[in-house]
Structure 1
Amino acid sequence: MRTSPLHATLRYAAIVLCGLIMAAPLLYMISGSLQSAAEVSAFPKPLLPETPIWQNFVDAWNFLTPQVIANTFIFSLGIVGLQLLLSLPAAFALAKIPFKWSAAVMATLIVPMFIPGNLTLIPLFIVTFQLGWLNTYAGLIIPMAAQCAFAILLFRQFFATMPAGLIEAARIDGASWGRVLTSIALPLAKPALATFCSISFLTAWNMYIWPQVIAPNPANRVINVALAPLAGGENSMISPAVGLAGAVISMLPVLIVFIVFQKWYLKGIAGTGLE
């Protein structure tokens, strides 16, 4: 049935309105990052800066320091990389290698996903403390990377949809299970890999509580921990506009990751599986 012009206009108007509402905080942040301290604190606040102040980004970069940015990349990429190493073989085994206790393993993976993270924070901290990993990259990365149940379930679901004929043909030709995973399954898993990498990187980049608890040392501080004093107004000598500029800087890597993986990410969300 053909949609009338009025219905199409109303639909697109509603979509644009919803988009503007969702983008309003982002636009406010970008606009405020280019304003002076007086403009940011004014009421009503101007929508656009009278004169863009790019020095805010220089001050924000100096406040964050390259070490904080590097720590955040090490933390985020370390979690993504370790979770891929742990979850891909496990997911492939659960999907394609029959063994006796596969259902019990799946249940063991699913149950912890329903436990709030705050309940496991203290036991996890105690274990990390006893291992001597406070204020270390190992303490930051390994406990978080071990929480890969979602990744295993995501990849397991994707591998389960792969044609069984591909796996059987490779096995008949003498390929080991490891060769089947690396040469056949992974090249076909680009949508699932892009989806997981985008979600995992975004989650790790936005973490605050765990890095604050496990690595309060300034040498191991990540970007959200470094920005927190600005959000709380604890640094009165620093303009709120500099804090907004710091938030824009912290947003850019996540935006770049999404743009790079957008094509495969949308395929993974749509659940198309194979190309």
Structure 2
Amino acid sequence: MRTPRSHSVLRYLAIVLAGLVMATPLLFMVSGSLKSAAEINAFPPPLLPETPIWQNFVEAWNYLTPRVILNTFVFSLGIVGLQLVLSLPAAFALAKIPFKWAAAVVATLVVPLFIPGNLTLIPLFVVTFQLGWLNTYAGLIIPMAAQCAFAILMFREFFAGLPVGLIEAARIDGASWGRVLTAIGLPLAKPALATFCSISFLTAWNMYIWPQVIAPNPANRVINVALAPLAGGENSMISPSVGLAGAVIAMLPVLIVFIVFQKWYLKGIVGTGLE
């Protein structure tokens, strides 16, 4: 018969093995970014580089260019910021302001979650083209930021769980609904905000199809579009090690965002409400 100690050992062993499996591609990417082209093409490839080649990161940075990095930050942060502006007031209204058709509005917001994004790509492109937004930040950001049904539903669930007494006390004191949102709702929504910002930033940072379709001009290129030719082997003059170094550079902002928001992100994941 297994003891509680043996159960704990097996549990931690399973966690460690699962972690190693998930971390293997990441470790290969970081290791490969410091290898020479010969080490990358060797079979079997060495686990670690014989001599780390930091020049790969310099070449990757020069290939990506600061403009590409800037475009990606503007694109990602623009989507996150605009979605927050659109979704927070709407979610609070659906959760706390009583009106006749609230249930119908919530049901309508559920529908876009079941529609694959590829089905709306062509009509969305046509509308953006008719507005004259090709190769512009507006064309990159606004159509994606407008797809905020998930954000509204997520924040609505959080606001619906706020104590009714807090809202009623603020209203009795003469606070407007906007004041209630900014003074009570938002300060208590740190876990939900951190969770959403992390997910939304990661999603926007990893987008490829929409930026490729709507902004093919090199001046408006984002980092995933810039890295794609390296993965396809179109630039034979560039070492795979440089491509891996570029992937590491692309990964760092997302990693930093997760580290910064980790405390509130984990609270949001496990479903804790108020601090």
- Give the Cα–Cα distance (whole angstroms) in 2 for the partners of residues 17 and 106 of structure 1: 42
Question: Which amino acid in structure 2 is aligned with residue 257 of structure 1?
Answer: V
1:79 paired to 2:79: yes
Query: What is the CA-CA distance between 1:174 and the residue it aligns to?
Result: 0.2
Question: Which amino acid in structure 1 is aligned with residue 128 of structure 2?
Answer: T
- Give the Cα–Cα distance (whole angstroms) in 1 for the partners of residues 12 and 206 of structure 2: 32
- Give the Cα–Cα distance (whole angstroms) in 1 for the partners of residues 171 and 3 of structure 2: 52
Gapped regions of structure 2 (runs ≥ 5) = none
SS in 2 for 1:171: helix
1:242 paired to 2:251: no
| Match runs of 1:193-208 below 5 Å | 193-208=193-208
Query: What is the CA-CA distance between 1:112 and the residue it aligns to?
Result: 1.1
SS in 2 for 1:213: helix
Query: What is the CA-CA distance between 1:3 and the residue it aligns to?
Result: 5.2
Question: C-alpha offsets along residues 197-256 of structure 1, whole Å, 9 cap, x if unaligned?
Answer: 000000000000000000000000000000000000000000000000000000000000
User: Which residue is 1:63 aligned to?
Assistant: 63
SS in 2 for 1:61: helix
Question: Which amino acid in structure 1 is aligned with residue 37 of structure 2?
Answer: A
Aligned CA-pair RMSD: 0.8
Question: Which amino acid in structure 2 is aligned with residue 202 of structure 1?
Answer: L
| Match runs of 1:152-191 below 5 Å | 152-191=152-191
Q: Which moved more, 1:207-216 or 1:103-112?
A: 103-112
- Give the Cα–Cα distance (whole angstroms) in 2 for the partners of residues 238 and 115 of structure 1: 39
User: Which residue is 1:231 aligned to?
Assistant: 231
| Match runs of 1:76-225 below 5 Å | 76-225=76-225
User: Which residue is 2:13 aligned to?
Assistant: 13
TM-score by length of 2: 0.99
- Give the Cα–Cα distance (whole angstroms) in 2 for the partners of residues 71 and 235 of structure 1: 22
Query: What is the CA-CA distance between 1:79 and the residue it aligns to?
Result: 0.1
Aligned residues: 274
TM-score by length of 1: 0.99
Question: Which amino acid in structure 1 is aligned with residue 58 of structure 2?
Answer: V
Question: Which amino acid in structure 1 is aligned with residue 167 of structure 2?
Answer: I
- Give the Cα–Cα distance (whole angstroms) in 2 for the partners of residues 106 and 127 of structure 1: 25
SS in 1 for 2:261: helix
- Give the Cα–Cα distance (whole angstroms) in 1 for the partners of residues 84 and 4 of structure 2: 48
Gapped regions of structure 1 (runs ≥ 5) = none
Q: After TM superposition, where is structure 1 displaced by more than 4 Å over at least 4 residues in a row?
A: none
- Give the Cα–Cα distance (whole angstroms) in 2 for the partners of residues 116 and 75 of structure 1: 22
